[in-house]
Amino acid sequence: MFTTGIVLRKSLSSCLFCLILTVPQGTALGGPVSQEDSAQLSSEDSRAEELRSRRRQRLANVKRSQSSKVVDVLATVENVGFDQLVTFQVRHWRFGFGKISPVSSFTPAVQYERPRLGKTDLHLLASAAYSLKGYQVYDARFGKFNQPVPYEFLSDGYLGAPFAFDRRTQAPLEGYLYADLRYRNFPEEDFYGLGPDSSEDNRTDYRYEEAAFDAVAGYPFTRWFGIKGRAGYLLTNVGPGTIDDRPSTQDLFDDSTAPGLERQPDFFHLDAGLYLAYEDDPNLPAGILGLQFSRFDDIDDRRFEFNRFTLDARGYLPLGSRQRTLAGRFYLSRDYVDDPMQVPFYFMKTLGGHDTLRGYKNFRFRDSNLIYLSGEYRWEATTGVELATFYDTGKVFSQDTDLSFDHLRHSLGFGIRAKSMRRTVLRIDLGRSEEGTFVYFAFGPSF
């Protein structure tokens, strides 16, 4: 009985299979297809083919996507490198443009370099820069020292740091000893008077000339610790400014309100400094600390003699990635003078401009002591382009009792920076303060 049932089911399945195979084309299982159904099927096939044809036509007419001009420029800059856009080299000659003072304007420059003279470790480096405003810098180094990077000879003359922080890893670590000869002629330096209460209405300008003959030595013991010293002879000269529609400093001030204005002696000076740096994993905090002691001796009439202590501390805290960084700086400069000695006004530190208090004019505040703080939030929006917001505060003062965080000047703003893989090369900062809004264009980082 069980076997018979199996045979019967197999026979029925075979018959059903044969029936399906013998159905004529165009016949449904339920019966023959009507003319109306055939017309409907034909219409659906035509509609599907029409849609496919339209899609093919639209694809054929679609234009290839094209990048914007901004994207093309950024891609070119990224491939070439920002450093190569402001400098280029032909054998031993390097050419470029930059700024040698906050107010020097566009400055073409040239540099000549001969390493390993006579197959020795001696190095010769000479540079010259002349701005459209008549600012001039000529410099020559000879001795044993590391080859500088291309943008160093285009940096501003007033960096505000004890010495240039070099955040590059140098291998091998080598000491240096060289002679440095330098001449500077700055014809339009601003002076508003001394102290924190100087007035915008007293804006004047003066010419400052300087010739220096120095010996420079230093040694980086590790990547995070090094020392540097400089000693030499310094000649100075102050004259009337060259701006026609502005009074010269000599017209509004005298030697009592601007010490050193009437007569400028020659100086012997000595600088000794050290730096400490912590830089490891890019996602960990980084910090740099520079300390410097300076001595200036008036070798003519012993009227201007003083000691200077400078501290420059900088910190960089990545906020989860390299593209977002919180940067901070604390800068302190103190001059120690024994009565009746004085500090010449042209040697005094200043606040205001593209590096300090960016909501004020260049050299806006000047005195024998200075305290300055700055904070920036930096966001690398895309490759080679960084956006930043900043807050600056500080003051100048003459009395030791004023060394405090009271009565500070403030400014805030934002900026856009062009970056290479190693550093900020170009930047535009807009700062705002109680005295107005100012836009500064500068080469190099803010700090």
CATH number at residue 364: 2.40.160.50
Dist CA 104 CA 443 (whole Å): 12
From first to last of the 447 residues of the chain, give the pLDDT tens digit. 444 444 334 443 444 344 334 444 444 444 454 555 555 556 666 766 777 777 666 656 655 545 555 555 555 544 444 444 556 778 889 888 777 788 888 888 888 989 888 888 899 989 898 998 999 999 999 999 876 554 454 554 333 333 344 444 445 678 889 999 999 999 999 999 999 999 999 999 999 999 999 999 988 888 788 888 999 999 999 999 999 889 999 999 999 999 999 999 999 999 998 888 876 655 566 888 889 999 999 998 889 999 999 999 989 898 988 789 999 999 999 999 988 899 999 999 999 998 899 999 999 999 999 999 999 999 998 888 899 999 999 999 999 889 999 999 999 999 999 887 667 778 899 999 999 999 998 877 888
In degrees, rounded to 5, the angle at the alpha carbon of residue 157 between the alpha carbons of residues 388 and 431 is 30
Dist CA 423 CA 168 (whole Å): 10
**Close Cβ partners of 191 (under 8 Å, ≥ 6 residues apart):** 203, 204, 205, 206, 249, 253, 258, 345, 363, 366
Token digits of residue 116: 């390993």
Dist CA 160 CA 199 (whole Å): 23
Q: For the CA atoms of the chain, what is the radius of gyration?
A: 36
Beta strands in 93-132 (DSSP E): 93-98, 107-114, 123-130
Position 36 in a domain: no
172 neighbors 104 (Cβ within 8 angstroms): no
Position 380 in a domain: yes
Position 43 in a domain: no
Dist CA 5 CA 15 (whole Å): 16
Give me the numbers of helices (H) and strands (E) for the chain, helices first please.
5, 21
Position 34 in a domain: no
Among 230, 235, 237, 251, residue whose Cα is nearest residue 294: 230
- Could you list the residue range(s) of the whole structural domain that residue 168 is in? 69-443
Q: Hey, how many other C-beta atoms are within 10 angstroms of the C-beta on 28?
A: 10
Number of folded domains in the chain? 1
Name the phi and psi angles at 227, rounded to 5.
Answer: -130, 160
Dist CA 425 CA 339 (whole Å): 44
Position 18 in a domain: no
Token digits of residue 251: 């017209």
Position 2 in a domain: no
pLDDT at 96: 80
The full length of the chain comes to 447
pLDDT at 148: 58
The structure's pTM equals: 0.76
Position 173 in a domain: yes
pLDDT at 147: 60
Position 56 in a domain: no
Token digits of residue 421: 């893989």
